[in-house]
Amino acid sequence: MLAAYIADSMEETMQPYTDSDDFLQSRKVINKRISALRSAIPEPQQRELNSLLNMIDNANTEYVEKAYTTGVVYGVRLRDEVITK
């Protein structure tokens, strides 16, 4: 249950970063390059590229959520150890 709560709070916690000019500019560059690649390949390869990019995005999201949750849980444990010592 704690992991679900932590994962739910990740978006809100990361909002300042995802709204930052650096992040938005980086996404703009990436999207522009993907769009250029997509327009240079035939339709069947475009669908395959989209599928591959979705798989990569899903895997990265899963990794980030797990890393964030693990970090928060680890931080809470460390805090509890420091407080009890």
Q: Tens digits of per-residue pLDDT, 67-78?
A: 998 888 888 888
Global pTM?
0.73
Residue 61 belongs to some domain of the structure: yes
| Domains in the chain, number | 1
Q: How far is CA 18 from CA 13, 29, 67, 76, in A?
A: 10, 15, 17, 24
Does 11 reside within a domain?
A: no
What is the rounded distance in angstroms from the CA atom of residue 5 to the CA atom of residue 77?
16
Q: Which residues of the chain have pLDDT under 50?
A: none
Is 7 a member of any domain? no
What per-residue confidence (pLDDT) applies to 17?
94
Which domain, by its residues, includes 77? Answer: 17-84
User: In this predicted structure, what is the pLDDT of residue 85?
Assistant: 57
Does residue 28 lie in a domain region? yes
Asked whether residue 73 is domain-assigned, the answer is yes
Examine residue 9 and state whether it is found in any structural domain, yes or no.
no
In this structure, is residue 80 part of a structural domain?
yes
The pLDDT value recorded for residue 82 is 66
